Amino acid sequence: MKLWITFFTVFAFFSPTYAVKTMAIKERKVLLDLENESWQKGDRLMARNADGKARALLEVQQVKGNKAVAILVKGQIQKDYALTRFTPKDKNTKTAGRTSPRQGAWGGMAGYTMNSMTVKPSGASSVSLSGNSFNLAAFYEMHVDGNISARFLGGYEALNASGTSSSSSCMGSSNCTVDLGYLGLTALVRYTFLKMSSWDMWGGAGLGFLFALSKSSNILDTSKITTNQTIVGALGVDYHLGKESFIPFQLDYALFPDNNTSSANQIILRLGYGFSF
């Protein structure tokens, strides 16, 4: 009898007890039983498997009585995983990853642009032009709230395009060209919809402001080209090399509003290097 009492005492002493229990899992939402512990919105939990390895990071979104709803921030969760309160010291696995959104970032990006343009010369049929150009920009990023952030870009943007006209409407030539260089400023509001251990995916939209630096064309009246505005939609991936640096990839679609003489759009591929803070 003493042997059995000793066995159960040792077993109870060394067996782990977890106050928070997983009751149900639906997609990225997890229903928790808090077992009368004090939790609040924003608290985080680490989920570990039977070997004690961190497999998921949860964040409490709603608390009502002894029940709470948490969302899956990273990793994968199963009902039999043990849940413990997350602390900044939990850095022993890739799943723990970055414990909070970065508050800001800065860096630079180089880009390749595919340009499409339609010009409507006075008294002649419209002319379609296309071409490629390069751009270079610095960026600054700030965290706004939750998964929302803002990214600002500034640098050199170009619009180069050429095409053939059936008439000699390009200053007596059938070969039409547009070569424009701008100081470009772009403001984007971004929403990060997918977060993994080493990369994030986001979508965003904003406005671009272009100030002409150089202009040459035999089909446009360059004296009227001073500034332009664009409507920008963007999709991007930030690949994190560590806590302080990352590689941003960004795909932009910039639309120039139509006017009486021309319309244009650009598809811009950007790749760069950034620093988080």
Beta-carbon count within 10 A of 231 CB: 14
- Other CB atoms within 10 Å distance of the CB of residue 179: 17
pLDDT at 261: 85
Strand 175-195 with 127-145, pairing: unpaired
| Residue 118: per-residue pLDDT | 93
Question: Which value, in Å, is the radius of gyration of the alpha carbons in the chain?
Answer: 28
**The pLDDT value given to residue 255:** 97
**What is the distance between the alpha carbons of residues 59 and 99, in angstroms, rounded to a whole number?**
10
Residue 163 main-chain phi, psi, to 5 deg? -170, 175
Report pLDDT for 93. Answer: 40
205: which residues sit within 8 A by CB, 6+ positions away? 188, 189, 231, 232, 233, 234
For residue 12, is it left (φ>0), alpha (ψ between -120 and 50) or beta?
Answer: alpha
Quote the CA–CA distance of 71 and 62 in Å, as a whole number.
10
The pLDDT, as a whole number, for residue 247 is 97
Pairwise CA distance, residues 239 & 5, whole Å: 55
Pairwise CA distance, residues 95 & 54, whole Å: 7
Q: Residue 191 in contact with residue 147, Cβ under 8 Å?
A: yes
Predicted confidence at residue 210, as pLDDT, reads 97
Q: What is the pLDDT of residue 101?
A: 59
pLDDT at 89: 52
pLDDT of residue 53: 85
Walk along the chain (277 residues) and give the pLDDT tens digit of each residue. 444 444 334 333 333 444 688 888 988 889 998 877 888 888 888 888 888 888 899 899 888 888 999 998 888 888 888 888 887 654 444 434 444 556 899 999 999 999 999 998 876 788 999 999 999 999 999 999 889 999 999 999 999 999 988 777 787 788 999 999 999 999 999 999 998 878 999 999 999 999 999 999 999 989 989 999 999 999 999 999 987 899 999 999 999 988 888 999 999 999 999 999 8
